[in-house]
Amino acid sequence: MTDRLRQSADQPCAILRQLPEGFLDCPADRLIQLLPGPTLFDLPGKDPRPLFISTLLHGNEDSGLNAIQTVLKQQLSRGLNRSLLLFIGNVRAAAQQRRTLPDQLDYNRIWPGTKIIDHPLIDMARSIYDYAACRRPMASIDIHNNTGFNPPYGCVPKLEPHFIALARMFSSYIVHFERPFGTHTAAFSALCPAVTVECGKAGKESATQQAVRLIQSCLDLKAFDDEIRAPDQIDLLRTYAIVKPPRDVSISFDGQRADFIFRKDIDQLNFKEIQAGEFFGYVKNGLHKLEILPGDGLDSAPGEYFDYINGKIFLNKAAIPAMLTCDPEAVKLDCLCYLMHRINLDGVRIYS
């Protein structure tokens, strides 16, 4: 390995007991000037059982950083009501406003439970997990953004009442997930109620204020056990199918010629209960079909979700989409969308 490569590689995680000067006003893409790499802050509060906050696991998703900066600006001078473990993840990708750099692992696939073995980042994640485990956190919140227009929603790996209650403090939309493996929230669910919160698109329209309120509420809660009950008013959902265009086809959202031309407002369908017959876009010459892959934790093929009639694409059964985006690059990296259905608190699909 050359010196240059060594310098650009991810640093091991630092553990700091104080915020560096300028941290509370530092934008995500300049954090690297203050922090050498991934950093865990261990900040004391009146109640020693900490809240764990994780953010910037994806470098271009800055709502979590903005939210925690807002809370700390308000509360730090008078003292936190509860100790805080704050993990700031991929500062190197943040410096380039990228989710993950080409030479890196995805920081949200490296936590205990991951299928990846033998990598320094896996060891780093394990050491942070072990550090947190000794402190018995009262809750864990991992804060993200997504690329399309999505309402704020929480993702929980367990359907236990405290997990649902924690997620409900952020949004009434709650998605139960089992995969991918190696996420921060799945790992921390062995220690405490844990949720991943998705604050919509990064930037002005994001749901940063909801994240601020969630953090404030958790810092101020005396006992999570007694004061919160699982509420009735929730939309509990699970992904049953993942929709991808075939590899090597062209796609567009602005009407430009392509193999698939999706409607330009397609991301407005996210989290709406849409019915059979909803128009998604056009496919050239009827040559291609969208790939439908099994959803979360399912092994069997979910069956066909679309009809193709005279070059037009229509949904053929009711479903609730998520993660629809109008960014062709995001579709290529991930998928066109997830298709979800409602489930009950036992995890069983509700047919309407």
Q: Where do contacts with Zn ion occur on this chain (CB under 5 A)?
A: 58, 61, 144
* CA 134 vs CA 49, 139, 191, 259, 314: distances in Å: 10, 14, 10, 54, 52
Min dist CB 198 to Zn ion, Å, is: 8
Nearer to Zn ion, 75 or 150 (CB): 150
Residue 78: is it exposed, middle or buried by C-beta count within 10 angstroms (0-12/13-18/19+)?
exposed
Nearer to Zn ion, 141 or 313 (CB): 141
Min dist CB 144 to Zn ion, Å, is: 3
Q: Check residue 12 and report its DSSP letter.
A: P
Min dist CB 51 to Zn ion, Å, is: 20
Coil vs helix vs strand at 295 = coil
Nearer to Zn ion, 31 or 292 (CB): 31
Min dist CB 199 to Zn ion, Å, is: 10
What amino acid is encoded at 66 in this protein?
A: N
Min dist CB 204 to Zn ion, Å, is: 18
C-alpha 178/C-alpha 296 separation (Å) is: 6
Min dist CB 282 to Zn ion, Å, is: 30
What are the structure tokens assigned to 200, written together? 């919509």
Min dist CB 339 to Zn ion, Å, is: 20
Nearer to Zn ion, 19 or 105 (CB): 105
Min dist CB 142 to Zn ion, Å, is: 9
Nearer to Zn ion, 144 or 176 (CB): 144
Q: Which of 351, 350, 158, 345 is nearest to 233 (CA)?
A: 345
Nearer to Zn ion, 39 or 55 (CB): 55
DSSP string, 243-256: EEPPTT--EESSS-
What value does the CA radius of gyration of the chain take, rounded to a whole number of Å?
Answer: 21
C-alpha 335/C-alpha 332 separation (Å) is: 6
Q: Check residue 13 and report its DSSP letter.
A: P
Nearer to Zn ion, 162 or 176 (CB): 176
C-alpha 322/C-alpha 198 separation (Å) is: 11
Nearer to Zn ion, 198 or 278 (CB): 198
Min dist CB 71 to Zn ion, Å, is: 20
Nearer to Zn ion, 98 or 288 (CB): 98
Give every CB contact of residue 188 below 8 A, 6+ residues apart in sequence: 52, 111, 129, 132, 137, 140, 142, 194
C-alpha 34/C-alpha 14 separation (Å) is: 12
C-alpha 93/C-alpha 104 separation (Å) is: 9
What are the structure tokens assigned to 233, written together? 């008013």
